[in-house]
């Protein structure tokens, strides 16, 4: 097998480098060279979130496994002939998830622990979604778990000084999955339109009374104050719909423009929390794939250095104590 | 800042990554544009993606029960209280109306979490029904849709 040095986009473009071909540009877009340290931090965040998730978000598989009368397996379970949930099965998945996530969060055994966690979490979540309710806040997160292990061992972990297309590909896949969550939400609204016989209608969802419907069903905080103003709520629907539809642009933003977009979407989610208590936390964690997490290391070093300086200063200060 | 050294990657490694990324995008698009919830994790992003009209009827499903001491209570449809969430019961409303014995799952879940309470004698599936008029909330009523006597 030929080993070639990566010739795609580089963090600091070299003016003497020849212009890459279209194929190289496409490959370079899907697998940009990015710091491995960023991936090491993202792994830690994602795997720790798995532990949080199974205790706070998709926490019902253990409870649901006691009675399977309402269990309706997803296509995934049928394809892989997964057995119906039972107490021994979900408890095994639980232990595997906790142990595997802690190992993977430390960037240890990234491939073995990572793929085991990905499979176990997909199964666990599929069980939680096999009783009639499927949430779409986990799509990007599941894709993140399946791609994170592919970059393999990162030498130096959070202190790695290397960059690679392997890490860049993982980060790009997660970024695409995050944005797909928004964009495909908009296309689904167009697809569903006004229901059977009225599908593929562009404006029907935005002109509907979905937010009134949602607030009546989930009376929460600010939502209750907005309920008497259906026209204002429709305006908000248009705003959200257009934002989702144009979200694809985020994949090409850089620097300050990307920061503004990220802040906008964080604000969007904060707003849905205040009116409906819907948070999309798993997708929010995946937003970290856009963040320059590699800067955490110098920042942590500075904080640690300052603390040591203070401690050292106090110890050598004869007037202290 | 020091320039990071760039790791090597083989042509094969790049090729399969590109293929997987394109296949993933194709799966997401196909699932979203043609699939159903069954296709998760490639299911359509269908939460709140429908369009209620201004005169819609909004239904909130509840389960109520009568205890052995005659007290009538609500079995809150949350995993921590009844072992199952409201959305999951709502997804099976028609099944439960056709076969009210399916409420045994809720009864078992609630009983396991409330061992100190008197036993449940009977349970009802009740729909809290709110009508909209011109997109504004109008009247709300409670309609029992199914009942099941818990076997001794």
Q: Return d(Cα A106, Cα A104) in angstroms, integer.
A: 5
- Poorest-pLDDT segment among A59-63, A184-188, B35-39: A59-63
- Closest CB to B132 among A6, A142, A209: A209
Chain A CB contacts of B85 below 8 Å? 60, 133
- Poorest-pLDDT segment among A120-134, A145-159, A187-201, A296-310: A296-310
pLDDT value at position B152?
A: 81
Under 8 Å between Cβ of B35 and A179: no
Residue B23 CB neighbours (<10 A): 10
Residue in chain B lying closest to A33 (CA)? B6
CB contact under 8 A, B132 and A212: yes
pLDDT above 50 for A46 = yes
pLDDT value at position A316?
A: 56
Give me A33's structure tokens.
Answer: 């060279």
pTM of the full structure: 0.88
Going by pLDDT thresholds of 50, 70 and 90, the confidence category of residue A7 is very low
Strand partners, B140: B130
Cα distance between the two ends of chain B? 75
Q: Return d(Cα A93, Cα A89) in angstroms, integer.
A: 6
Q: Would you call A132 an interface residue with chain B, using a CB distance cutoff of 8 Å?
A: yes
- Poorest-pLDDT segment among A6-15, A109-118, A303-312, B51-60: A6-15
Write the DSSP assignment of A268-292 as a string of letters: HHHHHHHHH----HHHHHHGGGGS-
- Using left for φ > 0, alpha for ψ between -120 and 50, and beta otherwise, residue B134 falls in left
Q: Taking a contact as any Cβ pair under 8 Å apart, which residues of chain A between 2 and 31 contact chain B?
A: 2-6, 10-12, 26-27, 30-31
- HSE toward the beta carbon, residue B141, CA cutoff 13 A: 6
Largest CA distance in chain A: 84
ipTM score over 0.90, yes or no? no
Chain B CB contacts of A136 below 8 Å? 43-47
Q: Return d(Cα A89, Cα A161) in angstroms, integer.
A: 41
Under 8 Å between Cβ of B121 and B68: yes
> What is the share, in percent, of chain A residues with pLDDT greater than 90?
77
Going by pLDDT thresholds of 50, 70 and 90, the confidence category of residue A2 is very low
pLDDT above 60 for A13 = no
Chain A CB contacts of B91 below 8 Å? 70, 131-133
CA distance A106 to chain B (A): 21
Going by pLDDT thresholds of 50, 70 and 90, the confidence category of residue A50 is very high
Kindly state the DSSP code that residue B152 receives in the 8-state scheme: -
Average pLDDT, chain B: 93
Q: Return d(Cα A158, Cα A156) in angstroms, integer.
A: 6
Chain A CB contacts of B135 below 8 Å? 209, 212, 230-231, 234
Give me A195's structure tokens.
Answer: 């229901």
pLDDT value at position A8?
A: 43
Residue A139 CB neighbours (<10 A): 26
pLDDT above 70 for B85 = yes
Q: Taking a contact as any Cβ pair under 8 Å apart, which residues of chain A between 169 and 188 contact chain B?
A: 169, 172-173, 176-177, 180-181, 184-185, 187-188
* Average pLDDT of the residues in B2-19: 89
pLDDT value at position A17?
A: 62
Is the model more confident about A56 or about B1? A56
pLDDT above 70 for A262 = yes
SS3 A246: coil
Q: Taking a contact as any Cβ pair under 8 Å apart, which residues of chain A between 234 and 263 contact chain B?
A: 234
SS3 A42: helix
CA distance A319 to chain B (A): 39
Taking the mean position of all CA atoms in its chain, how far away is CA A287?
6
pLDDT above 60 for B1 = no
User: Per residue in B114-134, pLDDT tens?
Assistant: 999 999 999 999 999 999 999
β-strands B5-6, A162-164 pairing: parallel
Burial B78-95, CB ≥16 within 10 A → b, else e: ebebbbbbbbbbbbbbeb
Closest CA to B47 of A138, A53, A61: A138
């Amino acid at each position: 097998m030929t080993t070639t040095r990566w010739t795609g986009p580089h963090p600091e473009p070299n003016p003497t480098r020849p212009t890459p071909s279209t194929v190289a540009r496409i490959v370079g877009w899907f697998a940009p060279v990015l710091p491995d340290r960023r991936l090491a931090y993202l792994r830690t965040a994602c795997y720790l979130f798995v532990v949080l998730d199974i205790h706070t978000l998709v926490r019902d598989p253990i409870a649901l496994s006691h009675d399977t009368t309402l269990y309706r397996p997803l296509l995934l379970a049928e394809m892989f002939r997964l057995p119906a949930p039972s107490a021994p099965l979900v408890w095994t998945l639980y232990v595997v998830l906790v142990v595997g996530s802690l190992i993977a969060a430390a960037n240890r055994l990234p491939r073995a622990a990572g793929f085991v966690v990905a499979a176990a979490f997909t199964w666990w979540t599929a069980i939680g979604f096999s009783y009639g309710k499927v949430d779409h806040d986990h799509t990007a997160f599941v894709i993140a778990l399946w791609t994170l292990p592919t970059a393999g061992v990162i030498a130096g972990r959070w202190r790695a000084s290397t960059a690679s297309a392997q890490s860049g590909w993982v980060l790009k896949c997660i970024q695409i999955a995050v944005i797909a969550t928004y964009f495909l939400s908009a296309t689904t609204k167009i697809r569903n339109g006004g229901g059977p016989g009225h599908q593929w209608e562009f404006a029907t969802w935005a002109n509907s009374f979905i937010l009134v419907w949602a607030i009546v069903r989930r009376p929460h905080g600010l939502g209750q104050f907005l309920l008497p103003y259906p026209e204002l709520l429709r305006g908000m629907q248009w705003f959200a719909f257009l934002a989702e539809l144009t979200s694809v642009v985020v994949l090409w933003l850089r620097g300050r423009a990307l920061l503004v977009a990220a802040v906008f979407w964080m604000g969007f989610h904060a707003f849905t929390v205040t009116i409906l208590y819907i948070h999309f936390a798993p997708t929010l964690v995946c937003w970290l794939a856009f963040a320059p997490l590699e800067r955490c290391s110098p920042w942590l070093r500075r904080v640690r250095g300052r603390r040591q300086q203070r401690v050292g200063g106090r110890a050598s200060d004869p007037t202290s104590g | 800042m020091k320039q990071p050294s760039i790791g090597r990657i083989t042509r094969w490694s790049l090729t399969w990554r590109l293929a997987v990324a394109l296949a993933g995008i194709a799966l997401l698009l196909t699932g979203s544009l043609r699939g159903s919830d069954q296709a998760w994790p490639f299911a359509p992003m269908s939460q709140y993606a429908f369009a209620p009209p201004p005169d819609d009827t909004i239904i909130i499903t509840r389960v109520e029960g009568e205890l052995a001491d005659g007290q009538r209570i609500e079995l809150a449809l949350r995993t921590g209280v009844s072992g199952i969430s409201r959305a999951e019961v709502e997804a099976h409303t028609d099944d439960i109306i056709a076969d009210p014995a399916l409420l045994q799952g809720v009864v078992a879940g609630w009983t396991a979490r409330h061992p100190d309470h008197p036993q449940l004698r009977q349970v009802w599936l009740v729909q809290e029904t709110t009508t909209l008029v011109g997109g504004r909330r109008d009247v709300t009523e409670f309609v029992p849709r199914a009942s099941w006597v818990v076997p001794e």
